[in-house]
Structures are given as structure tokens and as C-alpha cells.
Amino acid sequence: MRVMITGGAGFIGSAVVRELSKNADCKVSVFDALTYAGNLDSIGEAQKIGDVAFFHSDLLNVDEVRQCLFSIKPNIVMHLAAESHVDRSIDGPKQFLETNVVGTFNILQVAVEFYNSISVDDRERFRFHHISTDEVYGDLEGTDELFTEETPYAPSSPYSATKAASDHLVRAWGRTYGLPVIITNCSNNYGPYHFPEKLIPHMILNALAGKPLPVYGDGSQIRDWLYVEDHARALIQVATEAKPGSTYNIGGHNEIKNIDVVRNICELLEELAPEKPAGVNRYEDLITFVKDRPGHDTRYAIDASKIKRELGWEPQETFESGLRKTVQWYLDNRTWWERVLSGEYRLGRLGVGEK
């Protein structure tokens, strides 16, 4: 099996790479532009144990996309490359349009060229798996509603709007050009190797440094949290087992208010890192409420019953077990996140086609 993963040095992509690297019969090709969120340190162990190649390339360069895809000759393309931070999309939406919309258009165009060039047998095996987000659905009113695969799109931020656009492109290329596409929409991921600007790692590292723990508004926003390794296993199962044209929502069955997420982190740190920075009595004392984000969605919650019913997947981690593993990972892997915070991880980038 030959798998090409765009954005494979990012948070979710690297989890997929690490999982696939355990399979001796799988050749993994990571395609990544290594923007600020791409980190070769996150796939280093996978490259040691598995057949993992790295291509330093940009989706905005069609020639590079074509060169990589036609040289890799994948059975499966897993498209995870995306700009994904909501705050950054509000401050600078153009980059999100370029990467999430134009980048997706470019790889779809090349994927169709490639698909039309291969044998009938290879076409039967080929899949283009587009990985998206539950944020395309907007937010939910009340406490009982859930996002299903039939929920209408109503994105609220530049980020979610560009992801919604990319979803529509993938569906259209499937219907118009016959490309065998699959789409998955996931809830909030967390776990090891998460870029420090995201909520959970940001709170862990700020607390360890004795810095404020900024919470938007009153922290009442509700999210469904999915442990990234559970998500990686789901994505691989979908890519290898789902029928073309399928869409699956992937969730962790863990709806929690943002403020409770932060408090849970503080409680775990009290246990796992009792020696606090100077001047800190309790980690929870560092919680600081700040002005809410513009257009901030109130609640996300996924109905993941379809993927369980059709493919038998369900998360292995509860939020409690996954969060404990996550906090412990950051305590045990200081070198990884110190290299991110210092910017050292961005030095010595590789060239196209280099391992």
C-alpha cells in the first residue's frame, strides 16, 4: 500500500504517519510545505521504524504537486494539509483561502490527471480521502442537537468557511470527474505533538511557566474532544475500507466546556507536576478570562454513530484517559516543545524528495 499524506508533518497528519509506519507493508510519503505548524520532529520516530519518505513541497505549486504524486504513485491520497487556527484566520484570511481552497483545488486537479493515467485495477483501489472539520457546520443551539453527516453547512469563521469550500470542491470533483473521494469531518483533536498555540497545549505550557491561562469569554463554549491517536486509527480505517462517495463524522463522545477543560488540566498538573513556578499557589489561580473571539461558536457536538455502525470504529480513549496521557506527554517531552517555542524546529529544513 502506498499512501501520500499532505500535511503529514502537522499535528493530525503526523499521528497518521506514526500509525501507518507500524505497518511493514505500507510505504508512506509525507508531502508538507513545513509552514509554522509543520514539524519534522513529529515524524522522526516514524521514519526510523517504517518506510516513510518526506517531500518538502507546497500545494500552491502545481508542478511540485504533480511531480510528487506521479513519482509516489499512491493507492491512497490523504489530504490533511490546511491552515487550521481560527484566530490566525481572523487576522489573516488570505493564507487560509490560498492553502485550504486553492491548495485543495490544485491537488484535486492533479489527482484526476493521475487517476486517468493508471490501470483499471489501480483505479479500483485508488481513494482520495479529504480530512475536514466539524466547524463547517457552524454551531448548535440547545444541548441535545448533534452534527450528522446531513447537517447543512453554516461556517462562522474564515477558517471554517475555507474548509467548507474545500469540502464542496472534493464532492464536486467526485461527481463531475469520477474521482473516488471520501470526506471525514472531525471534532476537536488533542494529544501528543500538538502545536503550542492550540488550547490544551497552550494551557499546559503556560501553567508550567507560571503564565496566565487565557479563557475566551466565560469559557462556556462546548467542544467534543477526540484523542488524536483515536482519530488517526479512524482515518486509516476510512481510507482503506470506506466506499467512494462516503462521508463520516468522527467524534470523541466528550462534550466539555472550555473552562472545564482548563480546570481539568490544572487538576492533573497539581498531581503530575506539583513543583510549581515561583509565586504560584495553585495552577487554577492562573486562569484569566479575556475578551471573546469574534464569531465564536457556542457548541459543537458530533454524532459518530454512522462510522461505528458501518465500519465498527469507536474511540478507545475517554477524555479523562486521553487528557492524562497528553499532560504526561508534555511533561516527558520537554525537548520537543522547547524546540517549537524557540523556533529551533524550523532550522535545517529538507529539500524535495529527501528522506
The catalytic site residues sit at 134-135, 159
Please state the φ and ψ torsions of residue 85, each to the nearest 5 degrees: -95, 120
User: Residue 213 in contact with residue 203, Cβ under 8 Å?
Assistant: yes
Quick one: 14 exposed, middle or buried, by C-beta within 10 A (0-12, 13-18, 19+)? Answer: buried
> Cα torsion at 312, 326, 87, 5 (round to 10°)?
-50
Find where cell 499521528 sits: 15
Sheet with strand 188-190: strands edge to edge: 188-190, 222-227, 255-257
Please work out, in degrees rounded to the nearest 5, the angle formed at the alpha carbon of residue 310 by the alpha carbons of 315 and 20. Answer: 55
Name the DSSP letter for residue 215.
E
The secondary element (H helix, E strand) that includes residue 257 is strand 255-257
Please state the φ and ψ torsions of residue 177, each to the nearest 5 degrees: -105, 0
Amino acid at 11: F
Alpha-carbon distances of 151 from 192, 237, 336, rounded to whole Å: 30, 23, 39
Find where cell 462521508 sits: 247
User: Residue 11 in contact with residue 35, Cβ under 8 Å?
Assistant: no
Beta bridge mates, 183: 130, 247
User: Distance between alpha carbon 304 and the CA centroid of its chain, in Å?
Assistant: 17
Distance CA 141, CA 293 (A): 18
Find where cell 497545549 sits: 201
Pinpoint the alpha helices (H) of 50-155: 62-72, 86-91, 93-96, 103-117, 120-125
